[in-house]
Structure 1
Amino acid sequence: MPSRMLVEVDGREVELSNLDKVLYPSAGFTKAEVIDYYTRVAPALLPHLRGRPLTRIRYPNGVAGQGFFEKNAPSGKPGWVRTETLPVPNSTHGRETIDFVVVDDLPTLVWIANIASLELHTPQWRIGADPDLLVVDLDPGEPAGLRECAAVAVLVRDRLGDDGIACYPKTSGKKGMQLCCPVAGTQNSEIISGYAKRVAEELARTVPGGITAKMAKQLRPGKIFIDWSQNAAFKTTVAPYSLRALSLPTASAPLSWGEVESFAIGSATAHQLSPSEVLARLESDGDLLAALLSPGPEVPAR
């Protein structure tokens, strides 16, 4: 296989390189397979990325090597890649603005996959707009795991449902789960984050032995941390269908509530999903997170 080759993707020329390079050594999963996965999952993934500034976690030498976060558009990007210059308050690099890549189309997705952007993270808002998503991140403290996350997810679903807010679950692709909730897009991140915090604290009071709403890691063993802070304007969450950089390839995968309930009671084995499992489920079930693409209700302000 040549080390570099030009391919046409939806009318754009994209240069691919080192396709046989193994990025997940424990699975022998190559860069070509990463690009193939992102190409095949693109019809479901792209609508969740469009209009959102993208943070990438790149692993040029594979997951066994050093990875790094990248927000700024890299030098040498194709001229047709969309970028947006956005303010970045409190940047650790002292920058006032960053030129973010925005993945609106398949050529851009293939390009970022080719530069070993394994993980794709986005904020809860689209450029120029208030948040259209509320995210509840469920992070298990050992020995709690995905099963315990599923049980808490059901509690969160029912509590948010009391306020007319619908939740759609997905695995994180690592240890836990996230619940994604479409909201109206008419309230700022402070209101959304404040509401999520109130709900998290309420549930922690209700189930103090199994839930915490506090970030201190010493409080987490055996509990599920409901991370309400993911709704802050500067925070990002792993995108639906994104790969994760573990020893074996997994992806952040949508779940049905029937699956979540089965995980919670132990009638099905709770596990993170592989790329092939995600693609098979997408073919049979479609995008279980499609409802996130339409506005939801406003959250209670108090």
Structure 2
Amino acid sequence: MSAEERLRVGRRTVVVTRPDKVLLPADGITKSDLADYYRLAADAMVPQLRPEGIEGQSFMRKDVPDHFPDWFHRVELPKADGTVTYAVGDEPAALVYLAGQACITPHRFVSRADRPHHPGRMVFDLDPADDDFGASARQP
């Protein structure tokens, strides 16, 4: 198992640690596979993650860890008992970096960072009650 993989994404080099780590065992999908997918899908994904927030680009993730690289954009927003620092994934390298953090399902914020209490988008997260989408889809 290799300790890390260095991927060139645009003008950035993203390090994926433990690229051989299996994230989805049933399919054998590794962190490296996810990073490759995000890199290939970035042209379609990044525009969907930009709700015209901070300087027109944003993708929110709660509580950015201190180890995220300096180039990874962040925004701090209030919450009930303090603040949350969100990640702003505004470029393909950010998606690849998130894959390296084993972020399998990035959830986009539904409002702009400068107007957090005024959502501009509605998202339906249609998770089945169990692991079988087929059975859930057949329910009346």
With structure 1 as the length reference, what TM-score do the two structures score? 0.38
Q: 1:200-222 deviations in whole A, cap 9, x for unaligned?
A: xxxxxxxxxxxxxxxxxxxxxx6
Contact 2:63 2:86 in 1 (8 A): yes
Match in the other structure for 1:114: 100
CA distance in 2, matches of 1:135, 1:5: 34
Unpaired runs of 5+ in structure 2?
51-56
AA paired with 1:54? Answer: M
AA paired with 2:85? Answer: D
Q: 1:115-138 deviations in whole A, cap 9, x for unaligned?
A: 101111123212213322134555
Matched, 1:54 2:54: no
Cα deviation for residue 6 of structure 1 reads 2.8
CA distance in 2, matches of 1:122, 1:53: 6
Contact 1:53 1:84 in 2 (8 A): no
Contact 1:83 1:101 in 2 (8 A): yes
Contact 1:83 1:102 in 2 (8 A): yes
Instruction: State the number of aligned residues.
Output: 129
Question: Percent identity over the alignment?
Answer: 34
CA distance in 2, matches of 1:138, 1:77: 30
Whose Rg is larger? Answer: 1
Match in the other structure for 2:120: 132
Matched, 1:76 2:57: no
- Secondary structure of the structure 2 residue equivalent to 1:54: coil
C-alpha distance 116-136 of structure 1, shift in aligned 2 (>3 A): closer
Task: Map 1:96-175 to 2 at 5 A.
Answer: 96-129=82-115, 130-136=118-124, 145-147=136-138
CA distance in 1, matches of 2:45, 2:19: 22
Match in the other structure for 2:41: 41
Match in the other structure for 2:2: 2
CA distance in 1, matches of 2:127, 2:22: 30
Contact 2:23 2:31 in 1 (8 A): yes
Match in the other structure for 2:53: none
- Secondary structure of the structure 2 residue equivalent to 1:7: strand
AA paired with 1:132? Answer: G
AA paired with 1:126? Answer: R
AA paired with 1:2? Answer: S
- Secondary structure of the structure 2 residue equivalent to 1:133: coil
CA distance in 1, matches of 2:37, 2:12: 19
C-alpha distance 112-141 of structure 1, shift in aligned 2 (>3 A): closer
Cα deviation for residue 139 of structure 1 reads 6.4
CA distance in 2, matches of 1:88, 1:42: 30
CA distance in 1, matches of 2:36, 2:85: 27
Contact 1:53 1:127 in 2 (8 A): no
Q: 1:209-260 deviations in whole A, cap 9, x for unaligned?
A: xxxxxxxxxxxxx6xxxxxxxxxxxxxxxxxxxxxxxxxxxxxxxxxxxxxx
- Secondary structure of the structure 2 residue equivalent to 1:108: helix
Contact 1:53 1:123 in 2 (8 A): yes
AA paired with 2:119? Answer: P
**CA RMSD, Structure 1 to Structure 2 (Å):** 2.5
Higher relative CO (Cα under 8 Å, sequence separation at least 6) belongs to 2
CA distance in 1, matches of 2:39, 2:137: 28
Contact 2:39 2:93 in 1 (8 A): no
